[in-house]
């Protein structure tokens, strides 16, 4: 193929330069997109439940707008504070125990075992 044909193909079909990078939408990255979508969906479902239960229209609208605004603010705040993988690291750190307790003496751990099975 000639260089002219290759350059025409490049102009027609742009190269994907996002390979290996996380999904990003309006500055939200990775798991924050799911948190954002889930939070807005939960706020909408609560709005519908309140409306179907017979609460006032203005009360439902106020709750919906407040809840959606809180979800948007919290999601962007967490994204800015912890970054792409920071929220997962925070969850993993909470799963880790604070202290490791070992009740065997060090000298017993260092002693060789005899063939009979006793230390």
Q: What's the CA gap between 99 and 93, in Å, rounded?
A: 13
* Residue closest to 74 by CA, chosen among 28, 30, 26, 41: 28
Domain parsing of the chain, residue ranges: 22-110
Residue 79 has pLDDT above 90, yes or no: no
Sign of CA dihedral 82, 83, 85, 87: positive
Residue 119 has pLDDT above 60, yes or no: no
Q: What's the CA gap between 31 and 23, in Å, rounded?
A: 9
Run of H or E residues at 51: helix 31-53
In this predicted model, what pLDDT tens digit does every residue of 6-23 receive, in sequence order? 666 666 766 666 677 777
At CA 77, angle to CA 73 and CA 83, rounded to 5? 145
Question: How much is the pLDDT for 40?
Answer: 94
């Amino acid at each position: 193929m000639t260089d002219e044909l290759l350059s025409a193909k490049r102009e027609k079909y742009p190269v994907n330069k996002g390979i290996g990078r996380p999904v990003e939408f309006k500055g939200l990255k990775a798991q924050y997109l799911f948190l954002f979508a889930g939070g807005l969906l939960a706020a909408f479902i609560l709005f519908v439940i309140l409306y179907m239960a017979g609460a006032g229209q203005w009360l439902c609208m106020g709750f919906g707008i407040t809840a959606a605004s809180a979800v948007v603010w919290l999601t962007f705040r967490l994204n800015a504070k912890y970054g792409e993988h920071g929220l997962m690291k925070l969850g993993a750190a909470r799963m880790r125990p604070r202290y490791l307790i070992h009740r065997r003496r060090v000298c017993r751990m260092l002693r060789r075992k005899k063939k009979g099975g006793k230390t």
